[in-house]
Amino acid sequence: MSVHLTQQAQALLGKSARVIVTARVDDVALLIGQMVKMGCVEVLDKPRPQHWTQRGVSWGWTAVLWLAYILTEGEHRKVSVEAYSKSLHTTLSHLSGQRIEPRDCSDDRWGHLLTHVSTPTYGHAIEQDLHACSLEVDDLSQDVIRWDATTVAGTHHGTDGGLVPCGHRTAEPTRPQLKVMMGSLDPFGRPLATAVWSGERADDGVDMPRMERSEARLNRSARLCVGDGQRSAWATRAHVAGCQPCYRSPWPLTGATAEAMAEGLSEGLAQDRDGELEPIVRVKHRGEPVLAAEGDEVESACCLDAGAATWNDRVLVGRSPVHAERQPAGLETRLAHAEHKLAALRPARGRGTRQLRAEATRVEAIDHGLKAPRVDG
């Protein structure tokens, strides 16, 4: 590769001397090449507010270089990019076709870029343009959209009203977290719309804007929207039923839905006794047919509020033989665990043993011993 030498270097080496420069490439060339192929530079080069002292390198190349750094180094700190650009100065300059100076990768420049692309005005437009480029290149199936959310914990200092307050997290309840929600094309996992919320918020009520953004990215409506049990809230289901052909999600075991589910299960048990359930058979690798499940379909009329529009849910009630066989064994294990816990409440009298004499304390300990292994009642 050809490089520009300083006047001092030219005087020392001479004009006819051949200079060989050894530069690291790593995976930077592949990452930047893929982002250029996706059209990231052109999309991010669209008019964005600039600082009055901003020089040469455009916003598109600024963002692409930073994304390459994040993916290569596995961190997102702004202060480290300038040193990273110095170590790959020759490589980045030739890949971008322009001279990359360390000050082009300063943390102030990243902060100014983030200030604008993190707002819905520019962020949603970038998201839509990138999807338009990808969907024009790849004719992906748009029949199914999958919605899901996850929480990400960190070592940030949580503040009231901030983005990463302490929220409910089973594994790490004391660490601050944020919630990332995404709608993607199934089964490819192609993201359509992403939203970041503070970690203490529930999924209910924040799905609708993301659904509308997902639909806006497609040139036709999806036929099926798939989500987990948190997508089964009444408001979410009413919104989807009003603008989508159909949706699929498990019912939550709460409120009126649990009562309706109990009726469906009772009906399914009656059909099971009469042998009227529809079998679902799968073939094993040796060609042997195995009963995977059996079930039935019932209809349930749904309405969000009195006088509002109604819709019908197709409720699939299923029974898994393998799961049914595991349940008695699991129940026996939990019962044995509960018996051991209850027996430990009345140890044999002797030195070093303590008896629970207060009735309220004994009742509380017994309730805890039954609820922990889920055998109360």
Residue 55 pLDDT grade (very low, low, confident, very high; cuts 50, 70, 90): low
Domain limits for position 298: 256-319
Residue 165 sits in the same domain as residue 193: yes
pLDDT at 203: 67
At residue 12, the pLDDT reads 58
The secondary element (H helix, E strand) that includes residue 297 is strand 289-303
User: Does residue 133 register a pLDDT over 80?
Assistant: no
Residues 181 and 144 in one domain: yes
Residue pair 149/207 in contact by the 8 Å Cβ criterion: no
- Whether residues 230 and 165 share a domain: the answer is yes
pLDDT, residue 80, reads 77
* Within-domain flag for 377: no
Q: Who has greater pLDDT, 208 or 37?
A: 37
pLDDT of residue 332: 92
Same domain, 96 and 73: yes
pLDDT for residue 148 is more than 60: yes
In order of 7, 75, 86, 88, 94, the CA distances from 22 in angstroms are 21, 26, 14, 11, 13
Does pLDDT of 150 surpass 60? Answer: yes
287-322 confidence digits (pLDDT tens): 888 888 888 887 777 777 777 778 888 888 888 888
Same domain, 328 and 313: no
- If asked whether residues 88 and 149 sit together in one domain, one would say no
Q: Read out DSSP for 156-225?
A: ----TTSSS-B---SS-TTSBEEEEEEEEETTTTEEEEEEEEETT--STTSHHHHHHHHHHTSSS--SEE
The encoded tokens of residue 121 equal 């005005």
- Residues 149, 204 within the same domain: yes
Indicate whether 350 and 328 sit together in one domain. yes
Using 50, 70 and 90 to split pLDDT, how confident is the model at 160?
low
- Tokens 């300063």 correspond to 106
Say if strands 144-153 and 177-185 run parallel, antiparallel, or are unpaired.
antiparallel
pLDDT over threshold 80, residue 35? yes
Neighbours of 185 (CB within 10 A): 22
Q: Which pTM was predicted?
A: 0.51
Lowest model confidence (mean pLDDT) among 22-36, 119-133, 205-219, 318-332: 205-219
Asked whether the predicted pLDDT for residue 222 surpasses 60, the reply is: no
Total domains, the chain: 4
Any idea what the CATH number is for the domain that residue 220 is in?
Answer: 3.30.420.10
